[in-house]
Chain A
Amino acid sequence: MSEVLLQCRELTRRFAGLLAVDRVSLEVQRGTVHAVIGTNGAGKSTLINLLAGEIAPSAGSVALLGHDVTRWAQPRRARAGLGRSYQRTTIFPSFTVLENCRLAAQARFQHPWRWWQDAARCPASLGAAREAAARAGLAEHLERPAGLLSHGGKRQLEIAMCLATAPQVLLLDEPLAGMGAEETERMLALLAGLKEGHAILLVEHDMDAVFRVADRITVMVNGAVLASGTPEAVRANAEVQAAYLGGH
């Protein structure tokens, strides 16, 4: 069994009496894609926010690469190797594609005290940026203002910015959102290529895509885990069929 890179135990989050995430435990191993599915309001977004460190848990723990990161804020987790893409495109629309990636990459080479140096010439961040952009399929669009990209292009940029920080664990929040058939194919190919060396946690609504690319699936309902296992096991699970897959 390969290395567990990301793990959470009994992760819980309450919002003024509402139990948004209810004792969720899961793990993601290197070289695998672990998909989290569930209906709207099932707690998937809150779960990702908890794993990323954007909000603090009410109870439970999160471990990244063997370290307990439950008390760590998001930037610290990111520097430790946790990357995240957002469901709502979170890019810098007024900057070029290259600058978007370069700025993200700069997080690893911050050197804020070198005030006389031109950041745009920083070889380390530029190199990482070009590589990430190429991996995400944006090598031809480096000089375009990011706001002018197509929707699919922007989603690719989301991934590129995530990759620019050279993470070992990726949290991808609905990367396929709003994509057409061709763009979806490209993104799935990209994800398949990313598997090697990374541990990927994927939140998605597109069931076909999920069953194609995931090695493990966790189904959430009302903040708690309903079922978790291989795609075949989940598909065959009677409760899951009733609650979620039945009407699809």
Chain B
Amino acid sequence: MKGRLAFVAAAFVLLALYPLVAGKFGIDLATKIMIYAVFALSLELLVGGTGLVCFGHAAFFGIGAYATVLLSPAGAPASLAWLLPACVGAAALYALAVGALSLRTKGVYFIMVTLAFAQMAYYVVHDTPLGGGTDGIYLDARPALGSLLELDGAHTLYFFTLGALALVFGLLALLVRSRFGRALAGIRVNEQRMRAAGFSTYPYKLAAFTISGALAGLAGFLFAVKDGFVNPELLSWHLSGAVLIMIILGGIGHLRGALIGAFAFVLLQEFFKSEALFGDFARHWHLGLGLTIILSVALLPRGLVGLPQALQARRPRRPVTGSAEDAT
């Protein structure tokens, strides 16, 4: 437990200190990674925490992002005080609707139904005038909290995002060890037993789905604020797939796995895209990324969180007890 806590604490401290050494590109990249980390954490609650593999999570991310732009008045900055909750709320609402219907199915069928609902949202913004079509829409002005907090500067935005990430991580860490979180874990491991004991499992799953969607909406909000631009690809199944890849890569069943996965996925992309390292071959960065992913699953079946254990392969391992501690 101490090791994990130390790791997470160290990570946040490093992130807080990073702007001291980073240039503009570094700050921009790190902000992007942290937004994806929030996105990944939201999915981890669903997949690792409740055992519900959702393949349409980008819909909630995209709705949060589009709501940010569509609800902001033209020309003037909106107030964070209502815009943020409104965007999170919009995503949560769609998640509630999708969850209510999708949770009637199980397994692979559930995966595909969630995809279907995400595709519906995608086509609404892609093909109708509602979302500005394939060109996307621009955010005129970044929201602010009066004169207290203006998000125009890269540094301010960075720390705002870091704060959001820390808050989301802390919230989920508490949630995972709470009665609600333990019930979700029980549903994941053996839903039948939970029902036999007296838990009505549908409301729990729906609540998890809605919270997860809301947090994805928060990530979408941050994304829209950072980029100042949204387009339909933010709801695409490619993004739904990418965030799923992130948490699998990092390690399912652990909150820090979502953090690690988001960082690893984006950093690997940047690594293989680097012309400084690969020259002209950097165009084919998918190859390096693909091979790395294949190797990492082959060598680290539990994901990157399993790296310390794999390196200490000769020392006897403490058995994983599926407790709330292990989930962090």
Residues in chain A within 8 A of chain B (CB atoms): 52, 54, 73-76, 78-79, 83-84, 86, 90-96, 99, 103-120, 122, 145, 148, 161, 164-165
- Contact yes or no, A112 B193, CB < 8 A: no
- Contact yes or no, A75 B178, CB < 8 A: no
- Contact yes or no, A110 B199, CB < 8 A: yes
Indicate whether B201 reaches chain A with its CB closer than 8 angstroms.
Answer: yes
Instruction: Flag the segment in B64-72, B116-124, B184-192 that touches A.
Output: B184-192
Q: Are A90 and B198 also in contact (CB < 8 A) when A106-B182, A110-B183, A115-B174 are?
A: no
- Contact yes or no, B182 A94, CB < 8 A: no
- Contact yes or no, A103 B182, CB < 8 A: yes
Q: List 7 A-B contacts (CB under 8 A).
A: A74-B196, A75-B195, A104-B193, A106-B179, A112-B180, A115-B175, A145-B321
Closest-CB distance, A206 to chain B (whole angstroms)? 23
Q: Is the interface of B mostly helix, strand, loop or mixed?
A: helix
From A74, A84, A110, A148, B179 is in contact (CB under 8 Å) with A110
- Contact yes or no, A78 B195, CB < 8 A: yes
- Contact yes or no, A95 B177, CB < 8 A: no
CA of A209 to CA of B185 in the docked complex: distance in angstroms?
A: 36
Q: Which 10 A-B pairs have the closest CB atoms?
A: A94-B322, A107-B198, A78-B198, A112-B180, A79-B198, A107-B197, A104-B197, A119-B182, A119-B179, A75-B200
Q: What residues on A are CB-neighbors of B324 within 8 Å?
A: 118-120
CA of A52 to CA of B186 in the docked complex: distance in angstroms?
A: 20
Q: Is the interface of A mostly helix, strand, loop or mixed?
A: loop
- Tier of interface size on chain B: 20 to 34
Q: What residues on B are CB-neighbors of A52 within 8 Å?
A: 196
B313-328: CB near A (< 8 Å → 1, else 0) gives 0000001111110000
Q: What residues on A are CB-neighbors of B186 within 8 Å?
A: 92, 103
From A54, A75, A119, B181 is in contact (CB under 8 Å) with A119
- Contact yes or no, B321 A112, CB < 8 A: no
Closest-CB distance, A124 to chain B (whole angstroms)? 10
Q: What residues on B are CB-neighbors of A117 within 8 Å?
A: 178-179
- Contact yes or no, B323 A148, CB < 8 A: no
CA of A83 to CA of B201 in the docked complex: distance in angstroms?
A: 17
Indicate whether B168 reaches chain A with its CB closer than 8 angstroms.
Answer: no
Q: What residues on B are CB-neighbors of A95 within 8 Å?
A: 185, 189, 321-323
Closest-CB distance, A78 to chain B (whole angstroms)? 4
Indicate whether B204 reaches chain A with its CB closer than 8 angstroms.
Answer: yes
Q: What residues on B are CB-neighbors of A113 within 8 Å?
A: 180
CA of A117 to CA of B201 in the docked complex: distance in angstroms?
A: 20
- Contact yes or no, A161 B179, CB < 8 A: no
